[in-house]
Amino acid sequence: MASIEDRLVDVRRRIAGAARLCGRDPADINLLVVSKTRPIDDIRAALAAGQCHFGENYLQEAVPKIDALADEPICWHFIGPIQANKTRAIANNFDWVHSVDRLKIAERLNAQRDPARPPLNICLQLNISGEASKSGLAPADLVAMAAAVAKLDRLRFRGLMCIPRENTDASAQFARLRRLLDELKQSMGARAESLDTLSMGMSGDLEAAIVEGATWLRIGTAVFGPRQSSIELNHLPGNG
Ligand SMILES: *Cc1c(COP(=O)(O)O)cnc(C)c1O
């Protein structure tokens, strides 16, 4: 089996190739390696291969990893569903949160972020596919939510995130997220200055996400191989 280093090289090649094909600068596309369910040694292997942004979905799994790797230059991103009683630990263990989908959660992250640290980078997660079971804000609620979030000064509102519906045309959903961000920037005027992020694209659809303007790809399987665990995408009752 290919090593983590080989797989990372391969993913970076895919990113550069896809960027070239659609005339984008690969430097504008950031790679977030999703390390959920992976042991610390796998994270160290990716780190040794030059990867410094890692994403985790489950707080109780992430905190021991973050503590064990505290001396490493890692930027941690939270990408899973958020329970209100976990916001303090999320606000202070992570540099980014991609999965904010309720004002209450944004307000708690804002209130609980350590004042000595820079503002927490956040994205609003949109439920583009309209699946009732999916996390995410309804597109119709985005403008009001964005206006409220922009007032929270311990958060830096960076953009939008989505997880497309499986077995459907991801491109159309990525395009929709991009349009939502464009419209939001228009409607927010000067307050849109921090909005530079489209967090979309995973192992199976990163090329499509790049075509539609992704700035953060969230990649697990293509770097680490298939997950052993039965933990599914963004859906585990009682996690966070
Ligand atoms: C697991 C996960 C990913 C990575 O998915 P892969 O298909 O393994 O690349 C990306 N985003 C979120 C929110 C995830 O939960």
Is residue 153 situated within a structural domain? yes
pLDDT for position 229: 59
For residue 160, list its beta bridge partners. Answer: 124, 198
Q: Whose CA is nearest to atom 13 of ligand 1?
A: 79
Is residue 238 situated within a structural domain? no
Ligand 1 contacts CB of residue 77 (under 6 A): no
**8-state DSSP, 194:** G
Burial 161-182 (b: 16+ CB within 10 A, else e): bbbbeeeeebeebbbbbbebbe
Is residue 92 situated within a structural domain? yes
Q: Whose CA is nearest to atom 11 of ligand 1?
A: 218
Q: Whose CA is nearest to atom 10 of ligand 1?
A: 218
Ligand 1 contacts CB of residue 233 (under 6 A): yes
Q: Which residues of the chain have pLDDT under 50?
A: 233-240
pLDDT for position 238: 43
Q: Nearest Cα to 110, choosing from 122, 101, 98? A: 122
Which atom of ligand 1 is nearest the CA belonging to 227? 8
Burial 91-123 (b: 16+ CB within 10 A, else e): bebbebbbbbbbeebbbbbbeebeeeeebbbbb
Is residue 165 situated within a structural domain? yes
Which structural domain, as residue segments, surrounds residue 41? Answer: 4-233
Type of residue found at 162: C
pTM: 0.94
pLDDT for position 167: 79
**8-state DSSP, 78:** E
For residue 27, what are the contacts with CB-CB under 8 A and spacing of at least 6? none
Domain with 175 in it: what CATH number?
3.20.20.10
Distance between CA 21 and CA 15 in Å, rounded? 10
Is residue 73 situated within a structural domain? yes
For residue 123, list its beta bridge partners. Answer: 159
Give, for ligand 1, the residue of 14, 32, 218, 236 to mutate: max count of ligand atoms closer than 8 Å to Cβ: 218
pLDDT for position 91: 98
Task: Give how many domains the chain has, as a whole number.
Answer: 1
Q: Nearest Cα to 49, choosing from 33, 29, 63? A: 33
Give tens-digit pLDDT for 36-72: 999 999 999 999 999 999 999 999 999 999 999 999 9
pLDDT for position 240: 38
Distance between CA 211 and CA 136 in Å, rounded? 23
Hey, is 59 helix, strand or coil?
helix
Hey, is 197 helix, strand or coil?
strand
Ligand 1 contacts CB of residue 229 (under 6 A): no
Distance between CA 211 and CA 214 in Å, rounded? 7
Is residue 239 situated within a structural domain? no
